[in-house]
């Protein structure tokens, strides 16, 4: 069973990962320190099970699960210090929750519950469902006419207020849509948000350099430099590792 762990507390993540090692049928395919990185990477990783912290800065565990489509959403075991979230959690088909600090016996019980639920979940998982209908083209205005731009020809996208600017082959085209919306509509196997104001086509990344503040400076094939903020670096590295193993 493919598993991811999402928790902003490094010690809590390490505790879950250590317990996973005791179960031979569980394969850790990713760990994330915040919900934003996880939201970007989960569709491509397609885990069957996710251990998700409820309270995280930026994007809570509940909001993270809510923003995934039914096909993308894995079975979820929620991690929390409180037990007052149950109604919303079970609307999202969370199968169990673990109160912190985690008890070993309860952890094993939750894993067993996931094993028992998995056969009923498989027909709806990303691996078995029809491929998501990701955005393939955009309409942009060129003078008085409307042109169609294929998504796979775009190099990178930047935010411009409430709009976005598509960059391709040295050209820039204004799109009257927000970057946040595009981040959810583009194929995460091809496009990745690397900054609150930037999305990049990952196949065009030609090199990278770590900076002193944990940001990363990317260089595209045409020499364009783009900055990946530390908030998105973990998801970026996960996506690049996944692409190199395909």
Lowest mean pLDDT among 66-75, 161-170, 216-225: 66-75
Same domain (yes/no): 88, 153: no
Q: Which residues, listed in sequence order, are joined to residue 163 by a DSSP beta bridge?
A: 160
End residue of a domain, out of 56, 91, 124 = 124
Model pTM score: 0.51
End residue of a domain, out of 124, 149, 164 = 124
Identify whether 76 is part of a domain. yes
CA gap 15, 143 in Å, rounded:
58
Convert the pLDDT of each residue in 25-52 to its tens digit. Answer: 899 999 999 999 999 999 889 999 999 9
The whole-number average pLDDT for the span 100-121 is 82
Identify whether 119 is part of a domain. yes
Burial of 49 (0-12, 13-18, 19+ CB in 10 A): buried
Q: Which domain holds residue 86?
A: 2-124
pLDDT value of residue 132 = 59
Identify whether 110 is part of a domain. yes
Same domain (yes/no): 6, 120: yes
6 prior amide bond cis, ω within 30: no
CA gap 96, 41 in Å, rounded:
23
**3-state SS class at 229:** coil
CA gap 167, 155 in Å, rounded:
6
The domain tally of the chain equals 2
Same domain (yes/no): 226, 170: yes
Same domain (yes/no): 186, 162: yes
Identify whether 222 is part of a domain. yes
pLDDT value of residue 19 = 94
Identify whether 234 is part of a domain. yes
Structure tokens that stand for 98 in this block: 């673990």
Same domain (yes/no): 194, 167: yes
Do residues 6 and 52 lie in contact, with contact meaning Cβ atoms separated by under 8 Å? yes
The whole-number average pLDDT for the span 156-174 is 93
DSSP 8-state code for residue 129:
S
Convert the pLDDT of each residue in 124-151 to its tens digit. Answer: 444 444 445 788 888 888 877 888 889 9
Same domain (yes/no): 6, 117: yes
Identify whether 142 is part of a domain. yes
Do residues 149 and 171 lie in contact, with contact meaning Cβ atoms separated by under 8 Å? no
Same domain (yes/no): 152, 100: no
CATH classification at residue 192: 2.40.50.1020
Do residues 53 and 33 lie in contact, with contact meaning Cβ atoms separated by under 8 Å? no
């Amino acid at each position: 069973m493919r598993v991811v762990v999402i928790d902003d507390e490094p010690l809590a993540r390490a505790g879950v990962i250590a317990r996973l090692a005791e179960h031979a049928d569980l394969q850790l395919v990713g760990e994330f320190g915040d919900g934003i990185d996880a939201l970007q990477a989960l569709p491509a990783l397609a885990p069957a099970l996710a251990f998700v912290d409820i309270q995280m800065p930026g994007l809570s565990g509940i909001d993270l699960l809510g923003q995934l489509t039914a096909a993308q959403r894995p079975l979820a075991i929620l991690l929390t210090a409180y037990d007052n979230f149950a109604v919303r959690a079970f609307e999202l088909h969370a199968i169990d929750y673990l109160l912190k600090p985690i008890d070993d016996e309860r952890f094993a019980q939750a894993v067993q519950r996931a094993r028992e639920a998995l056969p009923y979940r498989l027909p709806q998982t990303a691996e078995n469902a029809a491929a998501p209908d990701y955005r393939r083209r955009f309409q942009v205005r060129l003078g008085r006419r409307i042109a169609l731009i294929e998504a796979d020809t775009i190099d990178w996208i930047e935010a411009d207020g409430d709009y976005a600017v598509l960059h391709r082959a040295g050209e820039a085209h204004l799109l009257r849509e927000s970057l946040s919306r595009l981040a959810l509509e583009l194929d995460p196997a091809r496009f990745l948000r690397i900054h609150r104001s930037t999305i990049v086509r990952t196949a065009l990344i030609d090199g990278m350099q770590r900076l002193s503040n944990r940001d990363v400076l990317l260089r595209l094939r045409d020499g364009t430099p783009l900055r990946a903020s530390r908030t998105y670096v973990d998801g970026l590295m996960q996506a690049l590792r996944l692409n190199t193993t395909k």
